[in-house]
Structure 1
Amino acid sequence: MNIRKKGIFIFIFIFGAFFYWFFYQNSWVPLSAKFEVNQMLQSHDTKRMRQVAADKKTRSYLLHLKKDTHCDSVTDFQGGSENIGYFVADINGKGVGIYMQREILLFWRIKEIKL
């Protein structure tokens, strides 16, 4: 393979890796968070609400929400590490912090929710 083909291959690889990271970090994980929060609220899964609530105040807030409440928006990645990300969401007009934890490569779960 000549130098020009190697250069093109490296450019495409770097561009593809950046695009994958940008799409994955900035859209997939927030969508997963929003979906999981909405599922938890619509099914009124009290066991899961107790598991993910960071403190008594958050637990009480989550348990007293109506079933028709939903998560309106989730921000982009706000910080964290490679395996734990912090996002902010709007649930029933209140801002809550959501910590997402990577389970496997493309699967993230809510680790903690805090008012």
Structure 2
Amino acid sequence: MSASAKAARRAAKAATKTSAKKVTTGVGKSYVSGSFSKNLVVGQGGEYKGVKVGAEFKTPKGRGVLVKGIVGYSGPPNRRLDITPKLDKAQKKLSVHATPNSNRRAAAGTKLRR
């Protein structure tokens, strides 16, 4: 490999690192503070119980974007467990509780063999 090829490769590598740092810094400065906790919701939507998480980002010119992610759980009404997420915003704790389902009949789905 020639000296000029090595120099070009070194320059390209340095430029990539510099541009990656600029993008990372820009994203860090564009985050709207408090938007994560504002867009954090735990509850039930239709048949689904779940968690919705989001955050807002703004550009220097005032344009914005809201990014959200949703994770939910749904099952048949006679399932064995009732899974319920709970959120304590003050402590920033998310917990998921699984309890026996009150809608399930005692003998539903179980057969005794003799």
Tell me the TM-score normalized by structure 2: 0.32
Tell me the TM-score normalized by structure 1: 0.32
Which structure's CA Rg is the greater one?
Answer: 2
Could you say which structure has the higher helix fraction? Answer: 1
Higher relative contact order (Cα pairs below 8 Å, separated by 6+ residues): 1
